[in-house]
């Protein structure tokens, strides 16, 4: 059975007529202001299909008709494949999933030490994430300091893809890197043709605000589209700095920026899945920092769900939190962010595990705490059913008002198990009982749980021989990337 997430979308921040205003504004910016694309083949393809290109400035203006055509071929439902069918994720505009990651440079380890991430951390954090029941999509949570910067994504691919059964959320620094990744996936899937038919990984392409697609972005986007690899087309806006300070203006910029990528991908390969994505945040005006957990950031992310869905595209939002320790700040930031995004119908809640300090830091303990927060948030979002059975009038009549209770009734036992969320590291005991059990706070409980999970040696998703072959392709790719750079110098 594939994974089918619960349906979000109860919460709407944009009124219907305002949503139309936003849509018109996006179309106006796309067709009259345009987007800068550095990659010449992208401009040529768009020009061939009727876009207006200002060749002197590499700006492309996309008319509404071309956009509409792309939105017709871009699917609103599709499957992201896992290595086994139970990890397939059925995507549409309503269901909600989570993504781990992404790309922290430091870790807060289980001894409480803050230090640069190394490849061992990538292995262990991926193993830890793999044990989290509510995680749907795997992503590289750290960029290790002991792997080369050029081609690091190949090493990360080899590590995460080999460990995890989940669909892998990858990224690439070049078209060649995409091809290397197809080769690595083919080791597990049997052939490149099998990867093309049922890709077990996806690519994220991160556009620059305002309205800029760098050369590498378009190159990776076009190569992935050719292979039929689903794309997260992402904008990382800094509201008030790289996009307008009003949230509405930020939504407009992101819409135009993302949709320019969607049009390009659909021209390369009509029907390739495109996920409207943001990892935006407000700029904290006191220090210029990106804030992933500010309430305004959460508002941007929740509201963008409505905009993406208006254009008929699944949506990825959600971002890291700002706290440095798994403390009260971390708890409140993550809880508000995750719950709001789920309720808003964010189809992929990104960076939802362990990411702190404006996406610079990954915490082992916070991974486990975030699983707990997501579990509770999912339970709220699932709501409750009203029907003859749940209204329980017959049961109420049976027990009556004569001082009975419901705890011993069969109906209670049958219902509560399906209905209740069972916490794992949350403590609901009284002081004395809690003290008697060691008086641990949530961080200590998470620490113990993480250690217990890591002590188990679960088999990797691929065989040791496949892992070895995948690693060889990654190392070979890194060597070729280095050689190319030297040639250029």
The residues near 383 (Cβ < 8 Å, ≥ 6 apart) are 10
In whole angstroms, what is the distance from residue 479 CA to residue 488 CA? 14
- Considering only 290-298, 300-308, 349-357, 430-438, which stretch makes contact with other proteins by CB under 8 A? 430-438
Site pattern 434..453 for other proteins (x: CB under 8 A): --x-----------------
Beta strands in 153-200 (DSSP E): 167-170
Supply the minimum distance, in Å, between the C-beta of residue 339 and other proteins.
25
- Considering only 239-247, 343-351, 431-439, 463-471, which stretch makes contact with other proteins by CB under 8 A? 431-439
Residue 405 tokens, joined:
């209770």
- Considering only 103-111, 217-225, 359-367, 424-432, which stretch makes contact with other proteins by CB under 8 A? 424-432
Q: Which is nearer to other proteins, 409 or 476 (CB)?
A: 409
The yes or no reply on residue 288 touching other proteins (CB under 8 A) is no
Site pattern 402..421 for other proteins (x: CB under 8 A): -x-x-xxxx-xx--x-----
CA angle at 94 for the pair 387 and 12, rounded to the nearest 5°: 85
β-pairing, 238-239 with 281-284? Answer: parallel
Residue 437, CA distances (Å) to 67, 222, 389, 460 in order: 60, 56, 39, 34
The yes or no reply on residue 432 touching other proteins (CB under 8 A) is yes
Supply the minimum distance, in Å, between the C-beta of residue 453 and other proteins.
17
Sites for other proteins among residues 56-85 (CB under 8 A): none
The yes or no reply on residue 390 touching other proteins (CB under 8 A) is no
Q: Which is nearer to other proteins, 412 or 444 (CB)?
A: 412
Residue 371 tokens, joined:
């699983």
In whole angstroms, what is the distance from residue 184 CA to residue 174 CA? 15
Q: Which is nearer to other proteins, 413 or 472 (CB)?
A: 413
Torsion angle of alpha carbons 384, 390, 391, 392, nearest 10°?
Answer: -150
In whole angstroms, what is the distance from residue 122 CA to residue 287 CA? 30
Question: 22: which DSSP letter?
Answer: H
Q: Which is nearer to other proteins, 206 or 445 (CB)?
A: 445
Size of site (CB under 8 A) for other proteins: 15
Residue 8, CA distances (Å) to 378, 382, 440, 487 in order: 9, 8, 34, 50
End-to-end, the C-alpha distance of the chain in Å comes to: 51
Supply the minimum distance, in Å, between the C-beta of residue 236 and other proteins.
42
The yes or no reply on residue 430 touching other proteins (CB under 8 A) is yes
- Cross-strand bridge partners of residue 53: 60
Supply the minimum distance, in Å, between the C-beta of residue 454 and other proteins.
22
Q: Which is nearer to other proteins, 113 or 422 (CB)?
A: 422
In whole angstroms, what is the distance from residue 148 CA to residue 150 CA? 5
Sites for other proteins among residues 352-381 (CB under 8 A): none
Q: Which is nearer to other proteins, 182 or 425 (CB)?
A: 425
- Which residues would be at the binding site for other proteins (CB under 8 A)? 403, 405, 407-410, 412-413, 416, 422, 430-433, 436
């Amino acid at each position: 059975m594939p994974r089918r997430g619960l349906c979000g979308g109860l919460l709407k921040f944009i009124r219907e007529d305002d949503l139309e205003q936003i849509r018109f504004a996006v179309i106006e910016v796309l067709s009259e202001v345009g987007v800068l694309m550095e990659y010449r083949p992208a401009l040529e393809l768009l020009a061939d299909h009727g876009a207006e290109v200002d060749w002197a400035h590499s700006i492309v203006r996309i008319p509404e008709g071309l956009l509409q055509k792309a939105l017709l071929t871009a699917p609103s439902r599709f499957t992201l494949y896992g290595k086994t069918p139970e990890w397939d994720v059925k995507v549409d505009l309503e269901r909600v999933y989570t993504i781990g990651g992404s790309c922290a440079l430091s870790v807060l380890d289980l001894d409480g030490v803050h230090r640069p991430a190394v490849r061992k951390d990538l292995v262990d954090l991926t193993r830890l994430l793999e044990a989290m029941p509510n995680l749907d999509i795997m992503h590289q949570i750290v960029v290790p300091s002991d792997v080369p910067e050029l081609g690091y994504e190949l090493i990360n691919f080899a590590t995460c893809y080999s460990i995890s059964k989940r669909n892998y959320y990858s990224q690439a620094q070049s078209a060649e890197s995409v091809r290397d990744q197809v080769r690595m996936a083919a080791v597990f899937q049997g052939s490149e043709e099998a990867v093309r038919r049922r890709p077990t990984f996806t690519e994220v392409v991160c556009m620059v605000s305002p309205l800029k697609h760098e050369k590498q972005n378009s190159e990776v986007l076009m190569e992935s589209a050719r292979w039929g690899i689903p794309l997260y087309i992402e904008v990382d806006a800094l509201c008030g700095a790289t996009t307008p300070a009003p949230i509405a203006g930020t939504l407009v910029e992101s819409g135009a920026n993302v949709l320019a990528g969607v049009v390009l991908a659909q021209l390369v390969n009509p029907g390739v899945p495109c996920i409207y994505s943001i990892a935006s945040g407000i700029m904290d005006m006191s220090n210029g920092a990106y804030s992933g957990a500010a309430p305004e950031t959460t508002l941007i992310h929740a509201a963008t769900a409505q905009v993406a869905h208006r254009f008929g595209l699944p949506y990825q939002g959600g971002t890291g939190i700002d706290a440095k320790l798994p403390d009260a700040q971390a708890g409140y930031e993550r809880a508000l962010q995750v719950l709001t995004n789920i309720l808003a119908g964010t189809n992929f809640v990104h960076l939802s595990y362990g990411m702190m300090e404006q996406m610079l830091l990954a915490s082992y303990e916070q991974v486990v705490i975030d699983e707990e927060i997501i579990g509770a948030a999912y339970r709220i979002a699932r709501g409750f059913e009203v029907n003859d059975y749940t209204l329980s009038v017959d049961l109420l009549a049976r027990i009556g008002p004569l001082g009975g209770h419901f705890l011993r009734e069969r109906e209670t036992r049958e219902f509560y198990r399906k209905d209740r969320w069972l916490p794992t590291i949350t403590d609901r005991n009284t002081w004395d009982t809690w003290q008697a059990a060691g008086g641990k706070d949530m961080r200590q409980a998470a620490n113990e749980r993480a250690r217990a999970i890591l002590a188990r040696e679960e088999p990797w998703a691929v065989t040791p021989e496949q892992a070895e072959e995948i690693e060889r392709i990654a190392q070979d790719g890194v060597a070729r990337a280095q050689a190319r750079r030297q040639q250029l110098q």
